[in-house]
Every structure is written in structure tokens, then in C-alpha cells.
Amino acid sequence: MAASLRCFLRSGKRSVSAVSRRQFHRSAPAAAQVTVRDALNQALDEELERDERVFLMGEEVAQYDGAYKVSRGLWKKYGDKRIIDTPISEMGFTGIAVGAAMAGLRPICEFMTFNFSMQAIDQVINSAAKTYYMSAGLQPVPIVFRGPNGASAGVAAQHSQCFAAWYAHCPGLKVVSPWNSEDAKGLLKSAIREDNPVVFLENELMYGVPFEMSEEAQSKDFTIPIGKAKVERQGSHVTLVSHSRLVGHCLDAAAVLAKEGIECEVINLRTIRPMDVETIEASVMKTNHLVTVEGGWPQFGVGAEICARVMEGPAFNYLDSPVTRVTGVDIPMPYAKILEDNSVPQIKDIIFSVKKTLNV
């Protein structure tokens, strides 16, 4: 009896020891679903908290929480000195922001839409972009101009322009155009920390779209370097290069084409100026075909610049067919919905252009 009891106790000890040694499976933390709006809000909040020189100004950014609710909760947290409502006078408050940047602060100047930045383009170009050069490097202008850019829905010709090519034309500015939530957060944080003026082009139709956000991207230390593109999908037959909302269209088109045996490599530019030409060239050397996709007008656009840079560089000799551009139609944006839909690139337009390029 005593021997059997001792045996039972020994086996019990071994069982407990085995349980204590067992390594339970730990899965990676699930990525959170975060909308582009909330990602931008996180970036603003974290940078306002990190650096007391940072402040946000623009129409309805404070008490109303922003026209698109991007600055939701920030006025209550940081008060009137850091979150400043302005009159409807873009030239006036943009000039104030540029002056504040010259005086050592780090303003974030919000335009309710970049169409209204035309009221302030003298301040953006002549005051902000050129001062560092004209002062021989003595006077930096650390400022971010941000707001929705490009076509929205049903707002017609005066509120539907893409300003990527307009601002990317000007030396002295950095121009950023994020697509998803990680882009929005990481690039906005880098833009706020940047010592040069940055034009940060958001998209109104993307604000409410949720994307998976990795644990790394949810960290307060997460940034994405300005000037570096990202390959969103690997492919071997054709390269699709795009920015902002149309990156999603390219991925959707690539999924359809994959069912037909056509593998598209999709590049998210992220930054328009400085442009990551090396990533584009490396992809073209692999796929031998290139299609550019943008929402702006064709003449002197982002796609036109990519065409020229590829032609002037080493990737030109690898092309098996001419580069094809998919762009907005070369007209002011119509108001009627059916005309509007036919004025901006659709997934079917990208599919058609890929097949045309590949001569399928």
C-alpha cells in the first residue's frame, strides 16, 4: 500500500513538472482595424504630445472637431493655444502658419480641401518652399500643409482637382500622398518632424475606410520615411504604379487579372516628391512593362513624370512595350454622377490598359 502511494505521488510530481515545462503556443497579436481618419488623428495626437512646438490651425479644426473629424478630441485635450480655429481666409491663416514656422514653431496648416489652397498658393510656394534656399540654408520652414486632395463625390469642377503634380513641380516642397492607415500615420508623423515644408495630400473618400494596422504601426515611435515607395503586391508580368486611393483600384484590378494568369506588381508611391524612381526601375527591369495610374489630369501629371524618368534611366532598355498612362479625363470634373464616374479611372480602365500594354 505504501509503495503504491509513493509511486502515485512520484507520477503526480512528474505530471506537474511536465505542465510547468510545457510551452503554450503564442500567436502573434492580431492587427487592429483602424480607419484612415483615426490613423491621422493618432499621428496628430502623438506629435502634439511629443513636441510642444507643434500646433494645428485651420477652419473648424477645434470646437467642431474638424470638417472631416480628423482632429476629433484634440481641442479638448490641448486647448485653444495648440488647436486653433481660423476665419475662412486661407491666404491669411497660411501666412500666419508660415511665419510661425520661421519663428521656430512647427505648425500643421489644414485646408478644408486642397482646392482652397489655391487662395494661399503664394504663401505655400513663394514664402514656404523657397525661403530655405533664398536664406542660404539659414531659415528652415518646418510646416505641414494637409487636407483632402483629388476627386471626392458630387462636388463638381471647383472641388475635385488633384494637386499632386501642381505642388510636386516646385523645388523646396516635399509632397506626400498616403493610401492606407499605416501610410497615413507613419508619413504624417515623419512630415511633422521634417524640417522642410511638406504638402500632405489626403483623400476624402478614404477617411472612413478601415485597414489592418500592425502592432508596430500602433507604436508611438512608428514612422515611414518620406521618399520611399512600397511594393504592395509582387508580380512578374507588368508594373502598376499609383498613389493615394487608386492604389486600391490597382490591387483590385491585379486580383481580377491574376485569375486570367496575368501577375501585376503594384507599387504604392507614398511620396510624389522626392520620387522613389529606383523602386519603379527595379520593378520595370523585372516585369518589362509599366502602367501608371492617377486621378489627376494627364498633361504634365505624375504619370508623365514617371514616363520621362523611366525613359531617361536604365530601365528604358528593359521595356517590351510603351508605357501606358491611366489618368483622369482631360476636362473639368462634371457634376452629373454618370459623367463623374467616366471622368475618373475605374478598375475596368486599369484592366483594359494592362491588357493593351501586354498586347493580350
User: Residue 312 catalytic?
Assistant: no
Tell me the CB-side half-sphere exposure of residue 131, using CA atoms within 13 A.
21
d(CA 47, CA 41): 10
List the catalytic residue out of 90, 110, 202, 305. 90
d(CA 253, CA 84): 42
Beta bridge partners of 147: 201
**Structural element, H or E, at residue 346:** none
Distances (CA, A) of 309 to 60, 70, 276, 282, 304: 41, 35, 11, 13, 9
Which are the contacts of 121, defined by CB distance < 8 A and separation ≥ 6? none
Cα Rg of the chain (Å, integer):
25
Taking each helix axis as running N to C, give the angle between helix 246-258 and helix 347-358, from 0 to 180 degrees, rounded to the nearest 10.
60
Residue 288: CB atoms within 10 A of its CB come to 17
d(CA 235, CA 58): 42
User: Residue 232 catalytic?
Assistant: no
List the catalytic residue out of 60, 159, 169, 194. 159
DSSP-derived secondary structure for 84-118: EE--S-HHHHHHHHHHHHHTT-EEEEE-SSGGGGG
Cα angle 117, 160, 227; round to 5: 65
d(CA 148, CA 153): 12
Instruction: State the catalytic residues.
Output: 90, 159
